[in-house]
Amino acid sequence: MTDISSTGRQLPDRLDNPLRSAVLSWESLLVLVAVAIFIANSFASPYFLNAWSLSDLTFNFTEKALIALAMALLIISGEIDLSVAAIISLASTLMGLALQYGADTPVLVAIGVGAGLLCGAFNGLLVTRLKLPSIVVTIGTMSLFRGISFIILGDQSFKGYPPSFAWFGQGYVFWVISFELVLFAFFAVLYWVLLHRTNFGRRVFAIGNNDVAAQFSGVRVDQIKFILFCLTGLMSGIAAVLLTARLGSTRPSIAEGWELEAITMVVLGGVSILGGAGSIIGVVLAALIMGLVTFGLGLLNVPGIVMSIFIGGLLIVVIALPILFRMWRQRA
């Protein structure tokens, strides 16, 4: 086996001794980072270790993390979607528009989620039917979707969502456990099962490693990629419902820059940006880390823009460290 790995493609790490690879895995590194940041936070601010503080913390990442779950599958399959934040904007605008015509909560939710799904399907069709590179397609639809929001709204905003709708973004299921957190936990488990315990998930990995080989092995590559784009759109629609409900208003610039944060979560979670490798547990941990970092720094009154330095630095350092470590070990 070592002969093969030295001459051809590197074999995946999981063929190592299982115990050793579990200790040295990306996920355990992320757990360490998360625990370290958690401890640092509790020392840095007296307001951190408090049930309600910790509950507020979860609002920092749940909406983005919902998108990151689906984005992880998409990136594992070798595609990417940069239009997710624009989908939120369009879905939110359409909900606001429906509100003006007197739609009530169930209709609003259906419109938000449905709009997300349709946008995702549009991306999926362009990528799979016309064989276009997803990065360019979604840069285009990113401008298109948000552009439609700007056409509808201009510099105005939609307000006045009903209280029953606001519950989706502000409500608590039990004590400090918010609806958003419960929903995220539900989807995290769902996506974990989908990616790691079903044929569908196995095919997603196969496509990401070698889509031509997958095609010849009988995997319907285009169909699966189309479904993944639909799922990413759907999750963006759900995130749009939650975010709109939490903010209580819609502007065309809503969720600006979220596509990069969602992708950062996915990559930080150990998903290979080149496709073919990654895990849902890693993505969930990365979402938690990003929530911890931004919330902890927020408690210390660090401005959001400075936090973004930490997030960007974290992304590069966490990716670079194992590479440097490997280079150092090879040299030694």
Cβ nearer to other proteins, comparing 252 with 282: 252
- Exposure of 170 in the CB half-sphere (CA atoms within 13 A): 12
Cβ nearer to other proteins, comparing 150 with 200: 150
For 249, the enclosing helix (H) or strand (E) is strand 249-250
Residue 19 or 130 with smaller CB distance to other proteins:
130
CB of 146 to other proteins, least distance (A): 6
- To other proteins, the closest distance from the beta carbon of 320 in angstroms equals 5
Residue with tokens 């979604």: 138
In terms of Cβ atoms closer than 10 Å to its own Cβ (0-12, 13-18, 19+), residue 308 is: middle
Beta carbon of residue 147, minimum distance to other proteins (angstroms, whole number): 3
Q: Which is nearer to other proteins, 145 or 187 (CB)?
A: 145
- Find residue 178's DSSP bridge partners: 172
Nearer to other proteins, 12 or 257 (CB): 257
| Shortest Å, Cβ 137 to other proteins | 6
Partners of 249 in the beta sheet? Answer: 159
Looking at residue 102, the DSSP 8-state letter turns out to be T
Least Å distance, CB 181 to other proteins, is: 26
DSSP 154: T
Residues that bind other proteins (CB under 8 A): 82, 126, 130-133, 135-137, 139-148, 150-151, 153-155, 252, 256-257, 260, 263-264, 267, 273-274, 303, 305-309, 311-313, 315-316, 319-320, 323-324
Helices (H), the chain: 2-7, 18-23, 26-44, 51-59, 62-76, 84-100, 105-129, 134-153, 163-170, 179-196, 199-209, 211-216, 221-247, 258-268, 280-299, 304-331
When the beta carbons of 41 and 294 are compared against other proteins, the nearer one is 294
For other proteins, the closer of residues 137 and 204 by Cβ is 137
What does R_g of the chain's alpha carbons equal in angstroms?
A: 21
Q: Return all residues near 189 (Cβ < 8 A) that are at least 6 apart.
A: none
Cβ at position 259, least distance to other proteins in Å = 10
- Angstrom distance (rounded) from CA 298 to CA 229: 33
Residue 237 or 252 with smaller CB distance to other proteins: 252
* Minimum gap (Å) between residue 232 Cβ and other proteins: 17
Locate tokens 């909406």: which residue? 63
Return the number of other C-beta atoms located less than 10 Å from residue 262's C-beta. 31
